[in-house]
Each structure stands twice: as C-alpha cells, then as structure tokens.
C-alpha cells in the first residue's frame, strides 16, 4: 500500500526513511506540536517550498535542464490568485478557482512557448533565455501597477472559511501541549498540507513512470535517447510544462497563505537562488531531496540568522570578522555551502545517505 | 578580396536599419540623434563586457554565469579610486579628468583580471566539460562575489559622479549629445579595434581563432590551449571590469546587484550575436543598446521586454544567432 503510494520509489536508506517519517509527522501535526504564529508560518513555508522545489527537481534533477524561470511560474500562480481574489466583490471559492485556472493556463502557454523555442538547442541556451525572460517578467510585474499593485503588491481577502476570523469551534481545543485555536489559519494549513502531499505524490509518480525514465535517459545522454527513437524536444518540453504547472500551484498556495503578494515575495531572483540551493543541498534527482532540503533551508533561513548575529557579537573587535558574520551576510555562507556541495556532494544529502546504506547492505 | 566577398553583410546592415526605422517613430530628428548616440554608447559599453564572455565560451565551451561579479567589482573599485583622486575629478579641465579616469580604469581592470585568475582556478577549472555544474558553480561564485562586495563596500547604492568636464552635453545641430556618451563610444571603438587587431594580426589571435574552430586540432599541434584559455579568461574579466567602470559612470551610481542586472543584457547580446562570435557580439550589443533607448523613450514600460522581442525575432531568423560559430 505504502509502496504503491510512493510509486515504489522508497527512501532506500534507514536513516533517510526515519528522517522522512519524522518530518512527515512533524508537518502533519505542526499546529498541535508547535503552537505559535512564527512556528506555523515556518511550517507553511516549508510545505510551499517542498512543492516548489520538487517541481524544479523534475526539471533540473531528472531532465538535466537548468531553468531560471521557475520563480516566474511561481509568481504567475501567486499573482493569479491575488489578482482574482482582489478583483472579486466577495472573495469566494469561485474567484479562487478562476484565479488558479487562469494562472495555470498562462503558465502552460508561456512554458510551452519558451520550451519549444529554446529546448531544441543546448541546455546552456535555455538557461540564458529563461534568465532573461524571468527578469523581464519581474520588471513587467512591478511596472504594471494597475493590475499587479506594482512594488507594493496586493493585499486581499481569502474565502471566508480560510480567513483568520473564522472559527470552526468557539472554544480552543485542549491538547497536552497547549491550546489550539481551530480558526481559518488552521484550515488553510491543512489545505496546504493536503495539496502539497498530493503534488509530491503525483511528481513521484511521474518520475517513476516510463515517461520519467525517458527524462532520465535524456539527462544522461540526450544523443543516445534521440537515437533510441525518443523525440527529446517533446519530452523536454513536456517536462518543462509539467514543472511550470506544479510551480504555479505552489505559487497559488503561497498567495493563499500570505493573503498578500508582491514582486519580492514570489518573483525575486533570491527565491530562484534559494530553490537552486535547496535542490543541490537536498540532492538532485531524488525528489526526497526536496523535502529534506526545504526543511533544512527554511529552518536555517529562520534561525541561522539569529546564530550569525550571536557569532557577530562574539567576534566584535576582531577586524573584518564581524562584517562577515552579520545576519545580512547569511547568503554569503549559503553560497559557499552551495559551491562546496556542488563539488563534494553532487548527490546531496539524500544521495549520500543512500550511498551509505547501499555500501553497508553490500 | 575574397574575404570581403565572403563576408555576410546582412547582420551588419541590421544596425543602421533599426536606427532608420526608429526615425519616423521618434519624430524629431534631434531627439533621434540624441537617442541614437545614447544607444550606441550603451551598446559599446555592453560590447566591452560581452566580448570577453563570448570569447571564453567560444574557446572553451565555458559559460560563465558569474561574469557579472567582474562588472560590479570594476565599478566599485573605480568609486574608491576616483574618490581618492580628489581635485583631479572636480577640476574643470578635460585632461585632468581623463588623468583621473585612466588610473581608475586601469586599477579596475587589474583587480577584475586578478579576480578572474582566481575565479578560473578555484571555481571553473574543476568543472570543465560539465555544463550543468558550470552553470550552478558560476552562479554560486556570483552569489559569493556579490556578498563579498557588500562586505567591503556596503549594500547601499554608491554615487559615482562623472568628472567635471565630462558632465553636460555638446550641441550637434539641434541635438544635445551627452559628452560622456561620446567618450564611451570612443573607448568602445578603441577596445573593438584592439580586439580585432589582436585576433586577426597576431599569433595569439590566430591561436584563439583556431581554438574556437577546433580545440583538439590546436592542442595536437602542440599548443597549450589551457594556458591560452586562462589568458583569455583573465582578459575577458579585465574587460568586464573596464565595462563595469563605464557602466557605473553611465548610470552615475553603482549597487552590488548591478552585475546581475547587466548580466541579463549580456546574455541577450551574446545569444543574438551567436555564442562565441566577437563581431556578432558587437552587432548584438549595438542592437540592444539602440532598442533599449528607443523603446525607453517611446514606451518606457516595456523597455526590457523589447530586448527579449528583439532576441526572439533574431532567433526566428537565425536560430543560432546572427553569426553562428561552426562546430557548436
């Protein structure tokens, strides 16, 4: 049953399996285990990143294509929901569905055009073109302030059931760990959780299907794949479209959770770098790497900065070191980590754990 | 003469065609002249930066996504050098101003070149021949470089004022043409001429061109193409540093993220030009510069999109860029 659900792509390492079970349980019961606004925000961010990064892994890890336009599709999703709910008189489920579908359609067309146009040639070409298109899109989104709200972004109301004011039960639920308020945020969190689980399982299904095998063949040797009779352009484009679609869905979830969207929250280049970092550190081409990487990264983002602040204060007086250790420079350390992991751990955390398990098994 | 006859002139004609096509759209000839000079100046600066990148790609099949770091570094070094020059930049004498700019450019080129040497050694050498890793690694190098610039110069925008005598504009007929833009076109032409001379009239240039065509053949003739490549990489980084100084002065301010912003333009340029082609990069740069200025005047909101549209149009015409390099 479980093997079927995971498309027979099991963790293949006891440590990895244990880690995944802990993370799954932690996320599933996050509102009960970690009451508090910040903790729930962190958990929701982890969920959104899991969907976003897993969809990027389909492209980078399984098909071997580097795209810098992934945040563009993420942003399209977020803007689709934001614009639609912002325009609606009374924000209801209808407006939400319209927004999601419109965003998916736009992403579909855009990714298809970019894919057909630039995936015929070298991978490097695609990377450059997507970088250019994504930057242009970001500029466009912040310029068209009538529609997108410009730099300020859009704040909007969500369907009533999901708004913080909504109560499922008047009195808070008493649990051994404290009180849990059953409000709209609680429901939104579980909506996110369900959708992200579904996205992840579908992606796992895709990469373990015959279609996914062809993608991996293209990654390993596109010339040979073509020689075997697979139209590599078609497969690459399909992979691009699928990954864009799932990124769009992740964007919709982000907008729904934040009840706000602006260029910096969903389109900025920093998020693209974050995605790259997570995929590489978690493990390219493993899907589970997206889970492990997202959790580590978001936790680091939320709590590493505090650690750096402490280190910076401790090193006060030594020249240059405090400037290197301020929380503002945390991207520097992540960048170093990124470069080192591309060199030394090209398979990421998941790859390492699997290697270890495999060696012991032998 | 066969060289001239074999020459593919159509892409070269694109630049004047675009300029003339914009004339009726802009309307007044004097505005058009101002915009055209601005476009050419921007194009020349972009070319200075892009030429190194496209050569590196052509010679060694390495695409450096971290090229932007050298641009930003050059510009930031120039702010420090110019700030220390004191009266040379504020005096109202063209010669004294140029005397201040020259060391700024030289130091920027030296520093960027030195970083290029380190970058090649530490970041790129381990990943030759692996495109996917190259993209990831050089992107990582870019993040680190940008953050280090923030450590040394701070994350804020720093003004980079033009020296006194280069401010303002001269009148050509009715058209006001900014003095600095003329200087930028001049510097760009000098760099282009030096490059054409090096590539076409020297032994090193011959080897570089041969390396672009067929690397293994050059290697089998006993030349160390690796060493040649390091030289080209350092020269390309130094040119990016120079271009960074020019770009910073063009914008009259520098921010640590400028490398990334310019990078996008550069990519469009070398895609238009054909990856690895120097002349193609020049044409691409001029087209992009002109297009950016015309659309910036006519419909400012879509300025960056116009360059994408330009790229798409060119690629529909020639899918490998205007001057495709053989064997790629």
Q: Report residue A291's pLDDT band, with 50, 70 and 90 as the boundaries.
A: very high
- Is the CB of A117 less than 8 angstroms away from the CB of B147? no
Mean pLDDT of A99-111: 96
Q: How is residue B183 written in tokens?
A: 């200087």
Q: So where are chain B's domains? A: 29-256
Interface probe, candidates A57, A65, A119, A135, chain B, greatest B C-beta count within 10 A: A135
ipTM of the complex: 0.80
Q: How far apart are CA B72 and CA B10, in angstroms?
A: 34
Q: Is B270 exposed, middle or buried (0-12, 13-18, 19+ CB in 10 A)?
A: buried
- Is the CB of A332 less than 8 angstroms away from the CB of B151? yes
CA nearest B313 in A: which residue?
Answer: A117
Q: How is residue B213 written in tokens?
A: 């065509």
How far lies B29's CA from each of A38, B22, B33, B39, B299, in Å? 60, 10, 6, 15, 18
DSSP reduced 3-state for A167:
strand
Q: Are the C-beta atoms of residues A266 and A74 closer than 8 Å to each other?
A: yes
Q: Is A289 exposed, middle or buried (0-12, 13-18, 19+ CB in 10 A)?
A: buried
Residues A82-93 pLDDT 10s: 999 998 888 888
Q: Using 50 as the pLDDT threshold, list the residues of chain B that sit under it.
A: 1-2, 327-328
- Is the CB of A124 less than 8 angstroms away from the CB of B123? no
Q: How far apart are CA B45 and CA A101, in angstroms?
A: 44
Residues B193-245 pLDDT 10s: 998 899 889 999 899 888 877 888 889 999 888 888 899 999 999 999 999 99
Least confident residue range of A138-152, A158-172, A222-236, A251-265: A158-172
Q: Are the C-beta atoms of residues B272 and B307 closer than 8 Å to each other?
A: no
pLDDT at B1: 37
Q: How far apart are CA A330 and CA B63, in angstroms?
A: 27
**Sign of the C-alpha dihedral, residues B315, B321, B324, B325?**
negative
Which residues 284-313 of A are in CB contact (within 8 Å) with B?
Answer: none
Say which of B140, B260, B267 has its CB closest to residue A339.
B140
- Is the CB of B267 less than 8 angstroms away from the CB of A132? yes
* pTM as predicted: 0.87
Residue numbers in A near B266 (CB within 8 A): none
- Is the CB of B131 less than 8 angstroms away from the CB of A117? no
pLDDT at A270: 83
Which residues constitute the domain of residue A8?
Answer: 2-361
Q: Report residue A121's pLDDT band, with 50, 70 and 90 as the boundaries.
A: low
CA nearest B62 in A: which residue?
Answer: A124
Classify each residue of A26-35 as buried b or exposed e, where b means 16 or more C-beta atoms within 10 Å of its C-beta. Answer: ebeebbebeb
Evaluate if residue A55 carries a pLDDT over 60. yes
pLDDT at B248: 92
Q: Are the C-beta atoms of residues A63 and A286 closer than 8 Å to each other?
A: no
How far does the CA of residue A351 sit from the closest CA of chain B (Å)?
A: 16
Chains A and B form CB pairs within 8 A to the count of: 99
- Is the CB of A132 less than 8 angstroms away from the CB of B268? yes
Residues B72-93 pLDDT 10s: 999 999 999 888 876 767 777 7
In whole numbers, what is the pLDDT of chain A averaged over residues? Answer: 88
Residues A1-50 pLDDT 10s: 788 888 888 888 888 999 999 999 999 998 888 878 888 999 999 999 99
Number of residues in chain A? 362
CA nearest A60 in B: which residue?
Answer: B132
Residues A171-211 pLDDT 10s: 777 777 777 778 888 899 999 999 999 999 999 999 999 99
Largest CA distance in chain A: 66
Least confident residue range of A59-73, A97-111, A130-144, B101-115: A130-144
Q: How many domains does chain A have?
A: 1
- Is the CB of B137 less than 8 angstroms away from the CB of A339? yes
Helices B258-273 and B278-298: crossing angle, nearest 10°? 120
């Amino acid at each position: 049953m479980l093997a079927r659900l995971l498309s027979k792509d099991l963790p293949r390492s006891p440590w990895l399996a244990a880690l995944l079970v802990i993370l799954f349980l932690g996320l599933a019961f996050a509102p009960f285990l970690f009451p508090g606004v910040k903790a729930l925000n962190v958990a929701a961010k982890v969920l959104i990143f899991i969907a976003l990064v897993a969809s990027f892994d389909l492209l980078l890890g399984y098909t071997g294509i580097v795209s810098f336009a992934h945040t563009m599709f993420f942003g399209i999703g977020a803007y689709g929901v934001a614009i639609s709910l912002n325009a609606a008189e009374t924000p209801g489920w209808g407006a939400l569905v319209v927004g999601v579908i419109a965003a998916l359609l736009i992403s579909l067309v855009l990714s298809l055009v970019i894919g057909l146009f630039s995936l015929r040639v070298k991978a490097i070409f695609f990377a450059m073109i997507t970088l250019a298109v994504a930057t242009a899109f970001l500029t466009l989104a912040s310029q068209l302030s009538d529609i997108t709200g410009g730099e300020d972004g859009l704040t909007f109301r969500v369907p009533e059931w999901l708004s913080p004011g909504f109560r499922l039960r008047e009195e808070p639920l008493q649990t051994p760990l404290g009180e849990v308020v059953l409000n709209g945020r609680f429901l939104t969190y579980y909506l996110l959780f369900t959708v992200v689980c579904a996205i992840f399982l579908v992606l796992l299904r895709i990469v373990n299907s015959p279609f996914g095998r062809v993608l991996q063949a293209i990654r390993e040797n596109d010339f040979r794949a073509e020689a075997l009779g697979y139209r590599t352009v078609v497969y690459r484009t399909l992979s691009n479209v699928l990954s864009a679609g799932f990124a769009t869905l992740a964007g919709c979830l982000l907008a729904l959770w934040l009840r706000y969207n602006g260029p910096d929250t969903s389109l900025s280049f920093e998020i693209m770098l974050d995605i790259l970092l997570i995929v590489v550190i978690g493990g390219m081409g493993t899907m589970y790497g997206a889970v492990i990487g997202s959790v580590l990264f978001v936790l680091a983002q939320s709590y590493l900065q505090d650690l750096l602040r402490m280190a910076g204060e401790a090193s006060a007086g030594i020249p240059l070191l405090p400037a290197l250790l301020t929380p503002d420079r945390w991207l520097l350390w992540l960048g170093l980590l990124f470069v080192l992991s591309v060199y030394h751990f090209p398979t990421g955390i998941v790859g390492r754990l699997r290697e270890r398990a495999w060696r012991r098994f032998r | 003469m066969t060289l001239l006859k074999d020459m593919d002139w159509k892409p070269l004609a694109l630049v004047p065609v675009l300029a003339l096509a914009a004339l009726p759209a802009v309307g007044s000839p004097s505005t058009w002249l101002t915009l055209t000079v601005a476009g050419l100046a921007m194009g020349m600066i972009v070319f200075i930066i892009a030429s190194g990148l496209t050569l590196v790609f052509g010679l060694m099949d390495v695409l450096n996504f971290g090229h932007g770091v050298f641009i930003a570094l050059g510009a930031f070094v120039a702010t420090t050098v110019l700030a220390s020059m004191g009266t040379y930049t504020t005096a109202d004498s063209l010669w004294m101003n140029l005397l201040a700019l020259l060391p700024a450019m030289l130091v920027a080129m030296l520093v960027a070149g030195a970083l290029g040497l380190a970058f090649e050694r530490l970041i790129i050498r381990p990943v030759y021949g692996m495109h996917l890793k190259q993209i990831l690694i050089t992107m990582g190098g870019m993040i680190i470089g940008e953050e280090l610039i923030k450590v040394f110069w701070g994350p804020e925008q720093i003004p980079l004022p033009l020296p006194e005598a280069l401010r303002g504009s001269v009148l050509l007929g009715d058209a006001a043409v900014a003095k600095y833009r003329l200087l930028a076109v001049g510097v760009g032409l000098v760099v282009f001429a030096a490059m054409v001379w090096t590539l076409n009239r020297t032994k090193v240039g011959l080897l570089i061109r041969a390396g672009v065509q067929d690397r293994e053949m050059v290697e089998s003739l006993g030349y160390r193409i690796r060493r040649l490549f390091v030289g080209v990489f350092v020269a390309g980084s130094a040119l990016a540093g120079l271009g960074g100084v020019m770009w910073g002065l063009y914008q009259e301010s520098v921010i640590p993220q400028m490398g990334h912003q310019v990078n996008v333009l550069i990519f469009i340029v070398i895609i238009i030009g054909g990856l690895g082609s120097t002349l193609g990069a020049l044409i691409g740069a001029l087209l992009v510069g002109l297009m950016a200025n015309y659309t910036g005047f006519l419909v400012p909101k879509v300025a960056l999109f116009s360059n994408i549209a330009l790229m798409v149009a060119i690629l529909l015409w020639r899918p490998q860029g205007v001057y495709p390099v053989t064997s790629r």
